[in-house]
């Protein structure tokens, strides 16, 4: 199993740049900028990353992100994160960027994009695209401001637009997602992570969601399951994240196997790997422990991606070759 997971070409569609900040880089950037609000030892950071609930996780996530100030910081982070993905045989990744968190701190969008693009260019062997997002709990007007920044300064490698943060009603974001879609961006909202299937419906109906971040609550609504299955609307699932934010009780209680049995197009992702003490490889190990076919998950990752057809076809053919050998 270990060698199969390593050999499979993988796509990672739901991973947050800021949630992939390593302790070493966190310490280095905190020292550089004199930020005293983050821990300064590996043991302390591990304790800091023990989350009581989802809002507590968001609070820590935002504080950690404050160490990112200049373009060089964003370059270092992007290069680090993309390098770690490439080392796991990830060939294609769509990385979420919590752009609104940086905007509210007064960081210019040009700084963010300049840094992450430099990091992207520095790592060979992997295609990376960006999905800037905003924190839904901070309101629709911040969503508009975030989209304005993306449309004015985003590079061609920006393929989608998302909403994350504490999960609030999705209906108020219909206008900003309408504008994002009209500009050619894919709609990739978080929904149904811990606030019920109704949030997934509103992400579909109000935001025109083309892929759902998490959506693990979907199983509670048979009509929604049929809808998602019939349209092959993908759900990006991250088991360890759901355990660590206490959205599910334990790994063995995770709905991933049931989602696949229901015929849903599910992808496997690491979400915030350093904060949740995981990697994409660890997620594949967890999925295998749950009895799930990892080859299907690898295939689903490319199928559900916004990669071009040639990249998808090459990856799927390679997966077939690995699975058959
Ligand atoms: Zn996420």
Query: Architecture of domain 2-324 in CATH?
Result: Alpha-Beta Barrel (3.20)
Please give the Cα distance from 158 to 153 (Å, whole number): 10
* Cα 271 to ligand 1 centre (Å): 5
Mean pLDDT of all residues belonging to the chain = 97
User: Is 144 a known active-site residue?
Assistant: no
Which residue has 């019920």 as its token pair? 196
Please give the Cα distance from 62 to 83 (Å, whole number): 23
What would the DSSP string read from start to end of 112-172? HHHHHHHHHHT--S-EEEEEEEEEGGG-HHHHHHHHHHHHHH--TTB-EEEEESS---SGG
In this prediction the pTM is: 0.96
* Cα 272 to ligand 1 centre (Å): 7
φ and ψ at residue 123, rounded to 5 degrees:
-115, 115
C-beta atoms surrounding 160 within 10 Å: 24
Among the listed residues 193, 210, 283, 318, the single catalytic one is: 193
Q: Is 1 helix (H, G, I), strand (E, B) or coil?
A: coil
C-beta atoms surrounding 108 within 10 Å: 13
Q: Is 78 helix (H, G, I), strand (E, B) or coil?
A: helix
* Cα 69 to ligand 1 centre (Å): 22
- pLDDT tens digits along 281-294: 999 999 999 999 99
Strands (DSSP E) contained in the chain are 10-16, 90-97, 127-135, 160-164, 186-187, 190-191, 212-214, 235-237, 266-268
Answer for the pair 119, 83: CB distance below 8 angstroms, yes or no.
Answer: no
**Residue 310 has what pLDDT?**
98
* Cα 212 to ligand 1 centre (Å): 10
**Residue 325 has what pLDDT?**
78
- pLDDT tens digits along 222-257: 999 999 999 999 999 999 999 999 999 999 999 999
**Residue 131 has what pLDDT?**
98
pLDDT in tens, the chain (325 residues): 999 999 999 999 999 999 999 999 999 999 999 999 999 898 999 899 999 999 999 999 999 999 999 999 999 999 999 999 999 999 999 999 999 999 999 999 999 999 999 999 999 999 999 999 999 999 999 999 999 999 999 999 999 999 999 999 999 999 999 999 999 999 999 999 989 999 999 999 999 999 999 999 999 999 999 999 999 999 999 999 999 999 999 999 999 999 999 999 999 999 999 999 999 999 999 999 999 999 999 999 999 999 999 999 999 999 999 999 7
Please give the Cα distance from 189 to 13 (Å, whole number): 12
* Cα 35 to ligand 1 centre (Å): 25
């Amino acid at each position: 199993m270990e060698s199969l997971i390593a050999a499979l070409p993988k796509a990672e569609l739901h991973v947050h740049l800021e949630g992939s900040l390593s302790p070493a880089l966190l310490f280095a950037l905190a020292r550089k900028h004199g930020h005293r609000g983050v821990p300064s030892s590996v043991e302390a950071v591990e304790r800091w990353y023990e989350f009581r609930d989802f809002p507590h996780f968001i609070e820590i996530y935002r504080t950690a992100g404050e160490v990112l100030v200049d373009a060089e910081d964003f370059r270092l982070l992007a290069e680090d994160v993309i390098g770690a993905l490439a080392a796991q045989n990830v060939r294609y990744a769509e990385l979420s960027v919590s752009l609104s968190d940086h905007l509210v701190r007064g960081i210019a969008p040009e700084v963010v994009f300049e840094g992450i693009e430099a990091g992207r260019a520095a790592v060979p062997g992997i295609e990376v695209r960006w999905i800037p997002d905003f924190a839904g709990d901070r309101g629709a007007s911040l969503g508009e401001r975030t989209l304005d920044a993306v449309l004015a300064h985003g590079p061609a490698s920006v393929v989608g637009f998302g909403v994350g943060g504490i999960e609030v009603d999705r209906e108020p974001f219909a206008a900003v997602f309408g504008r994002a879609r009209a500009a050619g961006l894919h709609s990739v909202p978080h929904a149904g992570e811990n606030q019920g299937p109704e949030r997934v419906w509103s992400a579909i109906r109000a935001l025109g969601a083309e892929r759902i971040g998490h959506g693990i609550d979907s199983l509670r609504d048979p009509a929604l399951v049929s809808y998602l299955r019939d349209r092959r609307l993908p759900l990006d699932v991250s088991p360890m994240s759901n355990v660590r934010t206490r959205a599910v009780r334990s790994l063995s209680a995770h709905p991933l196997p049931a989602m696949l049995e229901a015929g849903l197009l599910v992808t496997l992702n690491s979400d915030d790997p350093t904060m949740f003490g995981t990697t994409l490889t660890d997620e594949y190990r967890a999925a295998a422990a749950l009895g799930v076919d990892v080859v299907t998950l690898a295939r689903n990752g490319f199928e559900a991606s916004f990669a071009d057809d040639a990249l998808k076809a090459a990856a799927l053919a390679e997966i077939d070759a690995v699975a058959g050998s």
